[in-house]
Structure 1
Amino acid sequence: MTESPRLQSETKGGKVKYWQAAVYAKDGSWFYSKTWWQEGSKRQTSTPVEVFGKNIGRANETSPEEQARSEFDSIVQKQRDKGYSEDGSKAHIPTKPMLAHKYKDRKHTVEYPCFVQPKLDGYRMLKEGNGTAAYTRGGKPHVAECVAHLMWDTGAFMTDGELMLPHMPPLQETSRAAKKFRPDVSPTLHYYVYDIVDPGVPFIARHELLCSLVLHGRAPGNVVLVDTIEVHDETELLGAHAQFTARGYEGTIIRSGDAGYEIGHRSNSLLKLKDFTDVEFLVVDVEQGKGSFVGIAVFVCETSGGYRFNVVPQGTMEYRAELWRTRKGHIGKWLTVRYQALTEDGAPQFPVGITLREEGEF
């Protein structure tokens, strides 16, 4: 067994949290697993992920051991990218966006009037004020060539928004345009901006500044201000939510006008309201569909309780066939699964696979 260094970071409350990974062989197969814990709490260990060789029979073939060690190195680096460091060392922590709690769990914290915005289904993008770089939700740089047409100088102010193709296409279409430069589609990406990253300024003032930076700051044509509406009670809030969903948005974002921007944390001043649930599940296998679905991928995902269930990915038949051809590369990734209810086993009912993500992208 090979173990990573013990990495550490801090919780929002200031407690030290730890993380460690291991890669090992068992009964002729190779696996990796992750363990995490906080000060004074028990260790939790993930379900081991079995790793297979890739490109068998080709010049770039990797054995199960080589592939397992490669993926082990990758997950350790991803944890470092999140701001974790070895005990006693100082890590560079990238700026990360404020995240939302669920409205149904925190609705009692809402103080009216507040502000609502449509919830978008794209990729989070934090843009440096000088327009030199843009970052994902996990703090990694966006592909520079894919977002070059969206960059402009906003001085000392980092903007927060969503990278997305117009007209609200399925998320995998935006993914195709954003993760690798494609001259036919990447230049059509839009940047839908909804906030400024500034902990010391309330949202109402941040929004006024954002409007000025976009409308009077010579923002590129593909930069779009997200609709922001003031509501005075829950009736108005739910009415706005009904309008947003009728227009095809996936839900509503609720913002406190008086609160600052909480970098890298979930906040009661930022809530999300949706009529369905999106959760990331680990992909532990990929099966081939049956009948008219022969030749396309069906993902096998696992709940935190160890229960496995099948998910058909959203998208065209061509896209699903490509997922089947590249199936081994998706095991160990995370699938965003959309559903409305859970079974008694804790598995989603009528699940739909929305998009594959690397750990750290959600």
Structure 2
Amino acid sequence: MKNVIALPTLYKRDTKGKVRVLTIEYGFDNEDTAGTRSIAGIQDGKLVTSGWNITEPKNVGKVNATTCVTQAFAEAQASWDKKVEKEYFADINLIDTYEKFKPMLAGDYTKRPQAQGWSQPKLDGIRCIANQSGLWTRAGKEITSCPHIWESVKPFLDANPGVTLDGELYNHELKEDFNKITSLVRKLKSTPEDIAESASLVQYHVYDCNVENMLFIDRIKLAYKAKSDVVKIVKTDFASDQEQLDELYASYTEDGYEGQMVRNNALYQQNKRSNDLLKRKEFITEEFKVVTMLEGQGNWAGHVKHFALLLPSGETCGAGVRGKQEVLKDLWEKGATPDWATLRYFGLTPDGVPRFPVVIDYGFGERSD
């Protein structure tokens, strides 16, 4: 490529203690030829330069069409963002701050149904681990966009060394606008305005904490000591039989929650999918490739209203996109089509098409949270 632009170099400490460097570049010869590549290796060692991944224009002939160059920049930035959301840092001095705590993951209730247990509503937020080092994503990347949450939980964590809170950044009043929460939480460089908006909207909903040799019911009682205006403890009820579990499940879905979590009174298990924590939801959530964005009509003219998604059969289906108008207007005007979309739907039609599909999240590159 005649013209090459490099994004800021990234660094991480590998498992052998060495510093790895990564530079992501995009380049172009003209509007018809562009692509991305990476340069990676050990610091002060031999670096390997990949071949060019040629980019293609999207939405050709439409108002939101993108050129090869525009798409190359979008894909390079998405790859860079993905690395930063995980273990890479633009500042080499921060590489040893990566927190490696991994939370307990839920099993599938349909595969191991049980007729009693501790029941909680299933939230649709961003997983957040809080310990004495800060706030962290499920992938182990520090969350810096919610200082109001950190200020609230820090006194509890200081008073309880070794305890790790486990929950989600969420606001039930924004249950129909998941992208609003994610757009605030995922910001790597928040402006003062972003911080103020985060403080007014983002809450920390805690549903467990990691305490060595402590059973769940005692852990959730301990977590109540962290409760504040912005730190909520997820309501927890004991169901003694299937009827009570079903009644609680019905009440959660009626209230707009994603489903139900069923827990045994057992120990916290780090970094594994546990049968003592089961998720239950009737609808299906899957990710699909986005083929194109579709403009709305009337009041939604100039906004993204639907995505065309690629199905495993090779056919496409349309799905409405959940989100606020200003966010979807910005997405349409920028013109870069997301790579993936998380689709929520209620089973398939006889033709294999999702029933009542709604896009609840989307992004560029591979999802990392």
- TM-score relative to the length of structure 1: 0.69
Identify if the C-alpha distance between structure 1 residues 300 and 199 changes in structure 2 by more than 3 Å, giving closer, same or farther: farther
The amino acid of 1:295's aligned partner reads G
**Amino acid aligned to 2:128:** M
Q: Name the counterpart of 2:203.
A: 190
Q: Give the letter aligned to residue 145 of structure 1.
A: P
- What CA deviation, in whole Å up to 9, does each residue of 1:229-287 have, x standing for no partner? 111111111011122223332221111112x2232332222112223222222334323
Tell me the CA shift for residue 296 of structure 1. Answer: 2.1
1:327 to 329, 335, 354: 335
1:143-162 Cα offsets, whole Å, 9 max, x none, are 25363444323221110111
- Aligned partner of 1:267 in structure 2 is 274
One-letter amino acid of the structure 1 residue matched with residue 270 of structure 2: I
Residue 208 of structure 1 corresponds to: 221
The verdict on how the C-alpha distance between 1:196 and 1:325 changes in structure 2, with shifts beyond 3 A counting, is same
Contact 2:116–2:242 under 8 Å retained in 1:
no
- Distance (Å, rounded) in 2 between the aligned partners of 1:337 and 1:67: 22
Counterpart of 2:167 in 1: which secondary structure? strand
Q: Quote the offset at 1:71 in angstroms.
A: 4.5
Distance in 2 of aligned mates of 1:29 and 1:105: 49
Residue 300 of structure 1 pairs with residue 303 of structure 2? no
Alpha-carbon distance between aligned partners in 2 of 1:74 and 1:177, rounded to the nearest angstrom: 15
Which letter does structure 2 place at the counterpart of 1:353?
V
Match of 1:139 in 2: 140
Map of 2:247 onto structure 1 = 239
Aligned to 1:280: 287
What amino acid is aligned across from residue 195 of structure 1 in structure 2?
D
The amino acid across from 1:338 in the alignment is R
Q: Residues 88-107 of structure 1: matches in 2 within 5 Å?
A: 94-107=100-113
Inter-partner Cα distance in structure 1 for 2:56 and 2:300: 26
- Residue identity in the other structure for 1:203: F
Counterpart check, 1:249 vs 2:243: no
For residues 56-112 of structure 1, what are the alpha-carbon distances to aligned partners after superposition, in whole Å with 9 as ceiling and x for unaligned? xxxxx956556555545555666756xxxxxxxxxx7722322223322321xx3x6
In 2: Cα distance, 1:345 partner to 1:231 partner? 39
CA distance in 2, matches of 1:308, 1:30: 27
Once the two structures are TM-superposed, the CA of residue 31 in structure 1 deviates from its matched residue by: 7.3
Task: Give the secondary-structure state (helix, strand or coil) at the position aligned to 1:167.
Answer: helix
Match of 1:174 in 2: 181
User: Aligned pair in 2 of structure 1 residues 350, 244: CA closer, same or farther (>3 Å)?
Assistant: closer
Contact 1:195–1:210, Cα closer than 8 Å, also in 2 = yes
Instruction: Please say if residues 122 and 261 of structure 2, whose CA atoms lie closer than 8 Å, have aligned partners that are also in contact.
Output: yes
User: Which residue identity is paired with 1:98?
Assistant: M
Q: CA deviation at 1:303?
A: 3.8
Structure 2: runs of 5 or more not aligned: 1-13, 15-25, 38-52, 59-67, 89-97
Aligned to 2:120: 117
CA distance in 1, matches of 2:183, 2:82: 23
Provide closer, same or farther for how the CA distance between residues 324 and 272 of structure 1 changes in structure 2, counting only shifts above 3 A: same
The residue that corresponds to 1:230 in the other structure is 238
CA distance in 2 between partners of 1:304 and 1:201 (Å): 44
Distance 1:201 1:360, change over 3 A: farther
CA contact (8 A) 2:104 2:270 kept: yes
- Structure 1 gaps of 5+ residues are 1-8, 10-22, 34-47, 54-60, 82-91
Q: How far did residue 225 of structure 1 move?
A: 1.1
Deviation at 1:327, TM superposition (A): 3.3
Contact preservation (8 Å) 1:121, 1:168: no
The residue aligned with 1:6 is none
What is the total number of aligned residue pairs between the two structures?
Answer: 302
Q: Note the alpha carbon deviations across 1:194-241, whole angstroms, 9 max, x for none.
A: 101246433233223223x32xxxx54211111111111111110111
Summarize the Cα distance change of 1:67–1:175 in structure 2 as closer, same or farther, 3 Å threshold.
closer
Deviation of 1:322 (Å): 2.0
Assess, with a 3 A threshold, how the Cα gap between structure 1 residues 318 and 360 changes in structure 2: closer, same or farther: closer
1:56 is matched with which residue? none
Give % identity.
27
Q: CA deviation at 1:290?
A: 5.4
Counterpart of 1:136, as a letter, is T
Give the whole-Å Cα distance in 2 for the aligned partners of 1:138 and 1:67.
Answer: 23
Change (3 A) 1:62 1:313: same
